[in-house]
Structure 1
């Protein structure tokens, strides 16, 4: 379980992000802070039981800047990761955040699917980092660093919708292997349509097909994000 602390001075935003985190397997909100000073205290001085693994950090708060919080955390708690969630688009702030090792920079507002994708990328990064040991190969290094990068765009063939393809891609990236029926149920679309999108993702190498056994009759095809 990844322990998450939400830092934002707006109560409704904290509630929204808490609800978002609660919908993603493997993550749990263990603390919430409304200001910069409280965030530093919660991470460095009086952390919650189990500690904090990931901080969802706003950049602008009445008592301090998110970058200052990140500097304090980086100076004394190297094992705590940070994802910036903010309305600040200033390039200097983004560069400073990157220099402080902020794992992701997510600009408000955004849909749940985007939030889910970024946390899924972060979870994949932690999994790869935990598995790495000894002398890493170049491909292992590329995979580790690439886990935090948003996926490149996918060409949309005639007859498919870019928006729907993005939703199907997000669904496939988010968790365990899924069948066309499961994707269709999650997204409220037909099984035939879901299969068309998944087959396209398989054809371009974004997902891999495998047979799912266990039920009577022919095995069902499931799709795993590569």
Structure 2
């Protein structure tokens, strides 16, 4: 039986206000998570963790950018550990240097998410983390080897995310294959006859593929009637 966990309280740390707002919005779209606070530098992150702990509402997870104006993300993570905050950290950064990745692992960062990414990738990482927390919560005071293995596997193994309500896997597969084999961009109207679906239905599936980064969405100009989006396979 799955453990019934309270919402995971998340601290979003990014020096760019737009990125911090986007990541916060992503968190709020996911069941089982809530944004506790945001910070735009390392000292702000440490103060937010301290304030939350003193208020009796400690942070559970930090989404931590590596490039901050005052402290490097690795320094922040080390200070978090030395201060005794019992939080997990997921690095969200454009930094790709292998030395930084290794440093993140040694600093106790549980996952590493490279910018730019889609909401689907973000949701996949946090869904894996949520499963990790659930597996640990299901353990007794003495953890079993299989329980620990399952918990850590949740962090490393991609999670199959449920489709949005009203979408079916067979239709999604058909739309995906159709777009993938087109030499150029297509509109929702151009899926109606080949796939036997309505324009509204085709558009819903194409928008889902665009939101997950599978296809690229752009406006189509020069056609009669109201403006229409077109979708091109993301190669």
Alignment correspondent of 1:171: 161
Is 1:126 the counterpart of 2:116? The answer is no
- Of residues 68, 71, 76, the one that matches 2:78 is 71
Using the size of structure 2 for normalisation, the TM-score is 0.65
User: 2-side partners of 1:78 and 1:186: how far apart?
Assistant: 42
Would the alpha carbon gap of residues 110 and 191 (structure 1) be closer, same or farther in structure 2, given more than 3 Å must change?
A: closer
Gaps of 5+ in 1: 152-168, 173-182, 197-226
- Of residues 100, 103, 108, the one that matches 2:107 is 100
The 3-state SS of whatever aligns with 2:91 is: strand
Is 1:141 the counterpart of 2:119? The answer is no
Alignment correspondent of 2:116: 109
Gaps of 5+ in 2: 1-6, 175-235
User: 1-side partners of 2:126 and 2:18: how far apart?
Assistant: 20
Alignment correspondent of 2:24: 18
Would the alpha carbon gap of residues 36 and 186 (structure 1) be closer, same or farther in structure 2, given more than 3 Å must change?
A: farther
Is 1:47 the counterpart of 2:52? The answer is yes
Deviation at 1:101, TM superposition (A): 1.2
User: 2-side partners of 1:88 and 1:53: how far apart?
Assistant: 24
Larger Rg: 2
Is 1:36 the counterpart of 2:14? The answer is no
Would the alpha carbon gap of residues 65 and 133 (structure 1) be closer, same or farther in structure 2, given more than 3 Å must change?
A: same
Query: Are the equivalent residues in 1 in contact too, given 2:65–2:91 (CA < 8 A)?
Result: yes
Alignment correspondent of 2:209: none
Using the size of structure 1 for normalisation, the TM-score is 0.67
The 3-state SS of whatever aligns with 1:61 is: coil
Query: Are the equivalent residues in 2 in contact too, given 1:3–1:53 (CA < 8 A)?
Result: yes
Q: How many residues align?
A: 166
Query: Are the equivalent residues in 1 in contact too, given 2:90–2:111 (CA < 8 A)?
Result: yes
Deviation at 1:194, TM superposition (A): 5.4
- RCO higher in structure (CA 8 A, sep ≥6): 2
Deviation at 1:133, TM superposition (A): 2.1
Query: Are the equivalent residues in 2 in contact too, given 1:118–1:150 (CA < 8 A)?
Result: no
